[in-house]
Amino acid sequence: MTKDRVVPARMARAPRAMTRRTVVRNAAVALAMLAGGLAAASRGALAQVVRVSKAVAQYQGHPNNGQRCGLCAHYRFPFGCARVRGFVSLHGWCTLYTPRG
């Protein structure tokens, strides 16, 4: 005596094989994500590499006509700068000043 087993429809279907199109599409997405990650990483690394000395940037410890590090896009709280090496004051200024957008 055998019992008939009822198999749900979703289990009866065989798993779909990956088509060439699916493989190519997934590879393209993975490459795009990798390229984006590398680009972001290299931008960050480049920002570290291109930091210059205070002398080169003509840094001064006081504002210049209302422009100051605290209002600059390169300023990194509390005492850093993405473009100039070393201690940078919130109230300093240099020729690389770029207003925050």
Rounded to a whole number of angstroms, the minimum distance from the CB of residue 68 to ligand SF4 is: 7
Q: Which residues pair with 84 in a beta bridge?
A: 52
In the complex, the residues that contact ligand SF4 under the rule CB under 6 A are 57, 59, 69, 72, 74-75, 81, 83-84, 88, 92-94, 96-97
Rounded to a whole number of angstroms, the minimum distance from the CB of residue 22 to ligand SF4 is: 48
Rounded to a whole number of angstroms, the minimum distance from the CB of residue 88 to ligand SF4 is: 5
CB-side neighbour CA atoms (13 Å) of 55: 0
By beta-carbon proximity to ligand SF4, the closer residue of 33 and 47 is 47
Q: With b meaning 16 or more CB within 10 Å and e meaning fewer, what string describes 45-73?
A: eeeeeebbebeebebeeebeeeebbeebe
